[in-house]
Amino acid sequence: MSPGVGSAKGSRTQEERSAATRQLLLDATVDCLVRYGYAGTTTTRIAELAGVTRGALVHHFPSRADLVSAAVRHLASKRAEVAFARLEALRGSADPIPAALDMLWEVHQGSVFLATAELWVAARADATLAEQVDRFEPMVTGTLMEFSRALFPVLAGHPEFRHWLYTSMDVIRGILVSDPAGHEPDRLARRWQRARRHLLLLAEVLFDRVGPASATR
């Protein structure tokens, strides 16, 4: 008899067990990156956080590099997923420009981006890690662009839309990495408000939405 998917825990198929612990380990790795930084992301700690023994970890990821590589991929799909969810909520928004901007900001909040930042920086010193990042980063950005253009057809036509999104992402990332640990949420919010205003102004110029009477033209 087939034990059925998701039967309590008495008997799971090998593949289920395997997938479950792999997921546990990958999530723990992300958690570790966020809480202890790349330097503090050790196999011991990851196993502990995942609630599995170090032996299990080694079984699935023979070397630490294997685990981190897998984490890169894991994070990439997680980011794409988060972005997609946010984008869906904005479908058919009346004023897509500010909406897209806020969406971008929200996408970069939370642990997923923090872990990614750790990997970006660490990749500079680790060639194989850099290769992994290089391979999966376009996937995230590509997905985001794809959906953005699908959801904002009015803007999608404009050739500058893509560039504007890139610049917006760069601003957000610059703010977040140079902020000391988000120690002061107020300061962070103020920085974003300033940048947001600038990005909206830029959008007006780029997309020719200044219309007949916005500023002296």
Partner DNA sequence: CTAACTACATGCAAGTCTGTATGTATGTGG
Partner DNA sequence: CCACATACATACAGACTTGCATGTAGTTAG
List residues binding a second copy (CB under 8 A). Answer: 35-40, 114, 117-118, 120-126, 130, 133-134, 137, 163-164, 166-167, 169-175, 177-178, 180-181, 183, 191, 194-195, 198, 201-202, 204-206, 210-211, 215-217
For residue 111 the two structure tokens come to 């642990």
**Cα–Cα distance between 51 and 102 in angstroms, integer?**
36
Considering beta carbons, is residue 56 or 72 the nearer one to a second copy?
72
Binding segment for DNA (CB under 7 A), chosen from 42-50, 72-80, 131-139, 207-215, is: 42-50
Considering beta carbons, is residue 12 or 158 the nearer one to a second copy?
158
Q: DSSP of 77-105, one letter per residue? A: HHHHHHHHHHHHTTTT-SSHHHHHHHHHH
Strand locations in the chain (E): none
Residue 15: CB atoms within 10 Å: 8
> Residue 11 in contact with residue 3, Cβ under 8 Å?
yes
User: Of DNA, a second copy, none, which one sits near residue 77, judging by CB under 5 to 8 A according to partner kind?
Assistant: none
Considering beta carbons, is residue 50 or 72 the nearer one to a second copy?
72
Q: Is 10 in the site for DNA (CB under 7 A)?
A: yes
Distance of CA 25 to the CA centre of its chain: 18
Considering beta carbons, is residue 17 or 197 the nearer one to DNA?
17
Cβ contacts of residue 165 below 8 Å, gap of 6+? 100, 104, 144, 145, 148
Considering beta carbons, is residue 59 or 124 the nearer one to a second copy?
124
User: Binding residues for DNA, per CB under 7 A?
Assistant: 3, 10-15, 17-18, 20-21, 42-45, 52-56, 58-60, 62-65
